[in-house]
Amino acid sequence: MLRDTRLIFVRDMKLALRSPTWLLIGIMQPLLYLFLFGPLMVSVVDHTPGFPPGGAWEVLTPALIVQTALFSGSFAGVALLTEYRVGVVDRFRGTPASRAALLFGKVLAQAVQATAQSVLIVLVTLLVFDLDASLTGLLLSLAIAAVLAIALSSASYALAMVLKSEAAFPALMNAVLLPLLLLSGVLLPVSEQLAPGWLYNLARINPLTHVVDAERAAFRGDMSATGLLTGSLVLLVMAVLALMWGTRTFRKENA
């Protein structure tokens, strides 16, 4: 199974490297946020109580990394549906290769791509803006982005195989992602001081909120923050559940 996973991983990575548009499209949005929205954040963060510790870039950049991993992971299923339509998925499923390996190979390739996007975002922020970050913190935040991509792409692949509709899938994704993002405090933190009680409570139920909290803590190198531990645990549970769902869907005889 490890061997099959590697074969599929290498195939997906080769194809991704051959047409690196995904990389550009993937970081286009976060870069726009950095350049066109970031400067506003600087003065907002300085004058508003209730923001997490750190300056504007330490608040915004980790959130953009989470958002990027979230988007690229969630839309992984779109490509899978195209592969399904042209018959590639059935071709692989007809071989003796482990069906779980088909999933794992693709998920790992997604994780690597999300990490690459995150690295680019960090590099731009470091070079252009006034980012103050530790190396361990950065590495940890990249790891969080990678695991998030694993969780979301796995769930995305599973959902795509359940829906089997190239039209319905992206529509559903958009409908789910926007509230999830707003409720996770990606742009403005949904903190106790800033949000009304009901909104705050709603955000706390959203697992993604905890992941964003953890990513911010890791990013500013605050390894003792409780948010880091909680968020990491939430993320691990998400990843395990998503991988289980994905494996079950891929193994299904009739999928």
Partner 1 sequence: MASPDEPRATAGIPAGRRESAARLPGREKDFMITVRGLARRFTVRGQSVEAVKGIDFDVAPGEVVGFLGPNGAGKTTTLRMLTTLLRPTGGTGTVAGCDLLTDPQGVRRRIGCVHQGGATWPESRVAEEIELQARLYGLSRSEARRRGALLAERLDLAGLDQRPVKTLSGGQRRRLDIALGLVHEPTLVFLDEPTTGLDPQSRANLWDHVRRLRSEQATTVFLTTHYLDEADALCDRILVTDHGTIVAEGTPDALKARVAGDAITIEVTDQVAEAADVAGRLTGATEVSVDGDTVRFRVPRGDAALPELLRTLDGRGITMASVKVNRPTLDDVFLSLTGRSLRDGDPAPRTTEAAHAA
Q: Return d(Cα 148, Cα 160) in angstroms, integer.
A: 18
251 binds partner 1 per the rule CB under 8 A: no
Closest separation between CB of residue 100 and partner 1, Å?
Answer: 13
Structure tokens at 157: 């692949």
Question: CA 177 to CA 4: how far, in whole Å?
Answer: 32
Give yes or no for residue 18 binding partner 1 (CB under 8 A): yes
- Per-residue binding string, partner 1, 76-95, x by CB under 8 A, is -------x--xxx-xxxxxx
Return d(Cα 162, Cα 4) in angstroms, integer. Answer: 23
**4 touches partner 1 by CB under 8 A:** yes
Closer Cβ to partner 1, 162 or 229, answer by number: 162
CB 250 within 8 A of CB 99: yes
What are the two backbone dihedrals, phi and then psi, of residue 4, each rounded to the nearest 5 degrees?
A: -65, -40
Report the site for partner 1 in 97-126 (rule: CB under 8 A): 97
- Residue 165 found at the interface with partner 1 (CB under 8 A): no
Q: Which is nearer to partner 1, 161 or 239 (CB)?
A: 161
Instruction: Give the C-alpha separation, 228 to 216, whole Å.
Output: 8
Question: With binding defined as CB under 8 A, does residue 96 bind partner 1?
Answer: yes
21 binds partner 1 (CB under 8 A): no
CB of residue 99 to partner 1, shortest distance in Å: 10
CA atoms within a 13 Å half-sphere pointing along the CA-CB vector of 125: 31
Determine if residue 54 is left, alpha or beta; phi over 0 gives left, psi from -120 to 50 gives alpha, anything else beta.
Answer: left
Given the rule CB under 8 A, which residues bind partner 1?
A: 4, 7, 11, 14-15, 18-19, 83, 86-88, 90-97, 253-254
